[in-house]
Structure 1
């Protein structure tokens, strides 16, 4: 069998004839960072992202025909289906509900409450045993799926949203875990515990009504680093303005991501291969603790379920293993209040998965998450259909080297949902176009997105000899944009209701705010000495000249009204705020 579009890049790199064919069609492509880092990628992904050949159908056809004529391409790995939970896992001699149960007599609203069952260990409880619990408070009833935590421990976790007297009853395919009952009391939420974030129109609020402003950053593989780096990451976040962190469950293999993690999600079998029917509880406990540590600092964990930057095989486990993982992950994490779900980082690079796969797994997330945490999916090239019912908000990567945040208001109209530009490029100095914009440009993109009614995300990619780069591993921030993003956060908090919505604008300057009450204009690259305005009649307005880079707010001595001319400093990155007197 010859090579095809689905053949891994590593097979092409290892075959001189195949490599020669690809290099003849696309000179130098196999020496690119994408090829050398993404050796598990299908070669078709490399070709699809090489525009030089896309318009030459004859050359493309000749390339695939030439590769198909060669010998040595390994057959695509067959994925085995999983067994269903065993209906007779324990025989009739085992008394119903005989497992030991442990739980506290009280908990707090908006904090995880856990029921532990100590039960059987024979066979493979990760797939053999299904366990759940029905929690009841008055007329409120919540069914929550449980999971096996190893060493005979089965856990069911609830995130109670209200105080009151609660009870539970378990259900299981294992007789000893079935029919166990208990009661507990939930007290009011602790001060500062706002609960999960949900969509509020084009914006976001916590359960208690507190406004959430998702000014995010990215440290994809921070949980896969040593303890010293993880601790440095948390210390940095304590001083930073960010309220959300994008992070991967699976380890990442890409530029500046070459180290092996200390823990993996799966154990290895005797043959050295991953056993996708079992999980490594120590890894997931570490993941949970990392998310809790973010929550203690007021940071939402935007948990990325899948990504393509993989040398271990986690991006192509097969549908049964994918579903098994999604179900287990959601059941473990859904009770944590500061979780967001991201089905994928750059879903379109995961060539082993189809749109049907994403739809199936997203439905599984919705089914297994009784809290209804925010849920989205992130693109590399083409957007996913963000109008899909299960998607709560868009999670967008740049569509152009320069222009992305400028589209936020249009995307709001197109999708009817909040727009989060999770990747607008990164402040740094790497040789890749996504990783070398200036701090000024990063701040400009944040303001452009904000004044158009959306939210832009941050990342930092300054080169270091030790390859300790924030966007990849966390650690320390050294760029110029974070303190200016903190300044923007303060400006947003001062807006009516803590948000900006786009208003009818001039052709050269976007306007945002609340009509009649407050207007915010952002000039970006423009540097006018003054601006002529026509304001609604009958109102006088205070005028604040905001220098978004130097982080100053200068109130002019006199109010303005009607047709007026406002003096400006003639510098870039100036905003103008008009507040009704």
Structure 2
């Protein structure tokens, strides 16, 4: 496997009989990799035990190794703190056991902000403290398409403004996704054909195919180079017996999770999505899913973001500690600008609406949102203090057409541009949004003192009398005598126009504060208009 020099500071090296090895410098949150060679007579995936203890003065990480094929074993580590990290290897292979070494972790540079974690209960930050706002899209099976189409997908994502992509590890078989993948996660014992000419596989579930996972890693690294988080869907129901990856034994499910976490937990841009539409995997109960969530948590020493996604309006118990955030499929919370805020109050975790429907022209109701509708839903979710994932399902040449939602490729719609515009607005704000007064104001959000965002959605208004709720979420309340300027945002045309007036708050009137002269803002009598209101001297 060819490793990206940009993303991986750790060098590969081979252990000999020398007891101690050192690696001079590894950037914080980058990947350090130990490569070990040993010819084994049996099965390298099942017969070899390999792990390492990485430790400094305060912290210890226990890291599982894995077999990467061709008599090569690897251990990967993502240092969280600068300074020296010592390590000791333990293994049932004599040549590996009790080998020691150390690395020197240096401060991260450039766009290396580290792993994304939950911050301030409802939001996300990189490990270095930089705010992260997830503006994602969906391309379920893009890594299983032809190489040329995968390259087009990467180029599309680079230009799109998305910073997260939902993607399946296992290939997908669906009415609109017919392609046979180029690689498979397991070695093939035997392949035949049925009467209709379809491939029939007998898998060797005792042996993973390293080439499959090496390719997956290559694509995850390429996403990382573009600042994109890889939201990996570990299980899904879109197999229907074609490969059988949706009906593996409990033992094999666990071995798969142990293997993939050993390989990928050191990748700073990985999220774990335990399943997509978990309820449709009839072979698994809620107790089974709980056990798989626990397996991922136990084998991920860094605590990557982790959730599970259900069918429409089917909610898992997201209060469970193994789940870091809510990942749901439901249109209802974004049909208005406040329901997502209610979900926040229930779950006390970040709300990510990973499927509210897709912009497209399919006959299915979930795949025929207008671009205006898709854009409006994303705004509604963001105003409520949540996050909404985009998807696109345009089909022009029949069911074998490339559809971004499944295959990747090029974006044909127009909501993605408006979502990128919104991302810029949010990243320019002083912090993440919270509804100012959810019980009495259904349009106004705040990012703290002196910053408000008002969204009118599908309403069309000629004017707006300057008026803000006295309540400011959990921040300091608005006071009389504060001066504000107003920008008129056209969410569809992607324009921002400054109103020339300065507004000054007067004495509190009930639950609201008006301008002392009752000034108003002239609006363009169009839908999808927002106001950015910022305090000024």
What band does the TM-score fall into relative to the shorter chain? 0.7 to 0.9
Q: CA deviation at 1:289?
A: 0.5
Where does the alignment leave 5 or more consecutive residues of structure 2 unmatched?
Answer: 1-14, 192-200, 469-478, 506-513
Tell me the distance in 2 between the aligned counterparts of 1:555 and 1:113: 49
Q: CA deviation at 1:276?
A: 1.3
Other structure's SS at 2:464 match? strand
User: Any conservation in 1 of the 2:274–2:308 contact (CA below 8 Å)?
Assistant: yes
Aligned to 1:307: 236
**Residue of structure 2 in register with 1:363 after alignment:** 294
Deviations 1:156-201 (A, max 9, x none): 1000122222221111233333211122322222321011000002
1:160 aligns with 2:79: yes
Give the structure 1 partner of residue 99 of structure 2: 180
CA gap of 1:401–1:494, structure 2 versus 1, over 3 A, is closer
Between 1:476-485 and 1:463-472, the stretch displaced more is 463-472
Q: Which deviations, in whole Å up to 9, do the C-alpha atoms of 1:38-88 show, x marking residues without a partner?
A: xxxxxxxxxxxxxxxxxxxxxxxxxxxxxxxxxxxxxxxxxxxxxxxxxxx
Displacement of 1:404: 7.5
CA 1:227 to 1:100, structure 2 compared with 1: closer, same or farther past 3 Å?
Answer: farther
After superposition, the C-alpha distances for 1:114-173 in whole angstroms (9 at most, x for unaligned) are: 011112422212112221000122332211011111121111100012222222111123
1:446 lines up with 2:378 in the alignment: yes
> Is the contact made by 2:56 and 2:86 (CA closer than 8 Å) also made in structure 1?
yes
- How far apart are the structure 1 equivalents of 2:334 and 2:489? 24
TM-score (norm 2): 0.87
The structure number with the bigger radius of gyration is 1
* 2:430 alignment partner, one of 488, 496, 518: 496
CA gap 1:173/1:441 in 2 versus in 1, 3 angstroms = same
The residue that corresponds to 2:503 in the other structure is 560
C-alpha separation in 2, matches of 1:327 and 1:388: 21
Residue by residue, what CA displacement relative to the aligned partner does 1:483-536 show, whole Å, maximum 9, x if unpaired?
A: 111110111012222x11111158674210145511111110111112234344
2:524 corresponds in structure 1 to 569
Q: How does 1:339-418 map to 2 (within 5 A)?
A: 339-381=270-312, 382-400=314-332, 403=335, 406-418=338-350
Which residue of structure 2 lines up, in the alignment, with residue 432 of structure 1? 364
**Runs of 4+ off more than 6 Å:** 99-103
Residues 368, 516 of structure 1: CA spacing in aligned structure 2 closer, same or farther, 3 A cutoff?
Answer: closer
> Which residue does the alignment assign to 1:331?
262
2:392 maps to 1:460: yes
- 2:68 pairs with 1:136: no
Counterpart mapping for 1:202-213 below 5 A: 202-213=122-133
Alpha carbons 1:345, 1:379 under 8 Å: kept: yes
Residue pair 2:333, 2:339 contacting (<8 A) in 1 also? no
Alpha-carbon separation, structure 2, partners of 1:423 and 1:102: 48
Q: Which residue of 1 aligns with 2:461?
A: 528
User: CA 1:98/1:313 → structure 2, altered by over 3 Å: closer, same or farther?
Assistant: farther
Measure, in 2, the Cα distance between the counterparts of 1:522 and 1:405. Answer: 8
* Structure 1 residue 280 displacement after superposition: 0.1
Could you say if the C-alpha distance between residues 227 and 515 of structure 1 is closer, same or farther in structure 2, counting changes exceeding 3 Å? closer
Aligned residues: 485
* CA contact 1:144–1:156 (8 Å) conserved in 2: yes
CA shift at 1:402, angstroms? 7.8
Q: Is the 8 A contact 1:115 1:155 kept in 2?
A: yes
In structure 2, the residue matched to 1:49 is none
1:292 aligns with 2:221: yes
Q: Residue 117 of structure 2: which of 198, 204, 215 is its match?
A: 198
Report if aligned partners of 2:334, 2:380 keep a CA contact under 8 Å in 1: no
Cα 1:259–1:270 change in 2 (3 A) is: closer
Other-structure match for 1:237: 157
RMSD of aligned residue pairs (Cα, Å)? 2.1
Measured at CA, do residues 492 and 98 of structure 1 come closer, stay the same or move farther in structure 2, by a change above 3 Å? same
CA contact (8 A) 1:405 1:424 kept: no
Partners of 1:140 and 1:402 in 2: CA distance: 42
Moved more, 238-247 or 396-405: 396-405
Structure 1 residue 100, shift from structure 2 partner: 10
Q: 1:92-131 counterparts in 2 under 5 A?
A: 104-131=23-50
Contact 2:23/2:102 (8 A) holds in 1:
no
Which stretch of the first structure deviates more once superposed, 132-141 or 481-490?
132-141
Range 537-546 or range 279-288, more displaced: 537-546
Contact residue 101 and residue 117 of structure 1 kept, 8 A: no
Residues 101, 146 of structure 1: alpha-carbon distance in 2 compared, 3 angstrom cutoff: farther
Q: Return 243-252 or 109-118, whichever deviates more.
A: 109-118
Q: Select between 161-170 and 545-554 the one with higher mean Cα deviation.
A: 161-170
Higher strand share: 2
1:471 is aligned to 2:405: yes
SS in 1 for 2:95: helix
Deviates more, 1:556-565 or 1:544-553: 556-565
Q: 1:423-447, CA deviations, whole angstroms, 9 ceiling, x for partnerless residues?
A: 1111110111111101111110110
Partners of 1:99 and 1:119 within 8 A in 2: no
* Aligned equivalents of 2:76, 2:251: Cα separation in 1: 24
CA distance in 1, matches of 2:497, 2:132: 27
- Tell whether the 8 Å contact from 1:132 to 1:144 is kept in structure 2 after alignment: yes
Question: Could you tell me how far 1:275 is from its partner in structure 2?
Answer: 1.3
1:544–1:554 CA contact under 8 A, matched in 2: yes
- Once the two structures are superposed, what CA deviation does each residue of 1:381-410 show, in whole Å capped at 9, x if it has no partner? 410011111110111111549838752101
Distance 1:463 1:502 in 2: 37
| Aligned 8 A contact 2:341 2:438 in 1 | no
Q: Secondary structure at the match of 1:247?
A: strand
Provide TM-score, normalisation by structure 1: 0.80
For residues 255 and 322 of structure 1, do their structure 2 counterparts lie closer, same or farther at Cα, with a shift above 3 Å needed? same
Give 1 or 2: higher helix fraction: 1
Instruction: From the superposition, tell whether residues 153 and 376 of structure 1 become closer, same or farther in structure 2 (CA, over 3 Å).
Output: same
